Amino acid sequence: MTHGVEQMHELAIAKSIIELAKNEALEHRLEQITEIGVRVGALSGINCDALRFSLDALVVDTSLEGMKLIIDELPAKGICLKCNHEHVMGDFIEECPVCKGLAWKILQGEELELVHVSGVDKEENKQH
């Protein structure tokens, strides 16, 4: 069984992003991808620097070289199940600053999504 060397999971995630973006470009008839936007929650387990590094490394000498990557980093947000206090957390779960509770309903922070793909439209390209 052969699998590529992937020292960090951001590399695997970066590969998935590229694959997904290429499929979307094909579907939307975009000839070249100039920019992609992703949304990464603080609880998703993704290090954004490592993700950026991986994507940069993967697109060198490909048609995607020079592509812009926009990362929308979302902080973790939760509602305390004890006192209903809404709180923005760091990248791991904290005590509720109001009641010291530890049980949260997570409202935001688990996202790992491709938001948009920008590129040159095939049809338009022909006219110019």
Partner 1 sequence: MSEKKTVEKKILSRNDKIAAELRQRFRDNNVKVLNLLSSPGSGKTSLLEVTIQRLQGEIDLAVIAGDVQTENDALRLRNAGGKAVIPIETRGACHLDAAMVRNAVEQVQLDQTELLFIENVGNLVCPAGFDLGEDMKVVLVSTTEGDDKPLKYPAMFKRAGAMVITKTDLLGLSDFDIDRAIRNARALNQDLQILKLSCKSGEGMDQWYDWITGLLPLKPNNES
Applying CB under 8 A, the residues found at the interface with partner 1 are 1-9, 12-13, 16-17, 19-21, 24, 28, 30, 34-35, 38, 43-45, 92-94, 101-104, 106, 110, 112-121, 124, 128
Query: Packing angle between helix 48-59 and helix 9-27, nearest 10 degrees?
Result: 60
**Alpha-carbon torsion 103, 107, 113, 118, what sign?**
negative
Closer to partner 1 at the Cβ: 62 or 127? Answer: 127
Tokens of 79: 């509602």
What's the closest the beta carbon of residue 87 comes to partner 1, in angstroms?
A: 13
What's the closest the beta carbon of residue 70 comes to partner 1, in angstroms?
A: 11
What's the closest the beta carbon of residue 60 comes to partner 1, in angstroms?
A: 20
Residue 24 DSSP SS3:
helix
Q: Rounded CA gap, 58 and 45, in Å? A: 20
Closer to partner 1 at the Cβ: 59 or 120? Answer: 120
What's the closest the beta carbon of residue 123 comes to partner 1, in angstroms?
A: 10
- Residue 39 contacts residue 70 (beta carbons within 8 Å): no
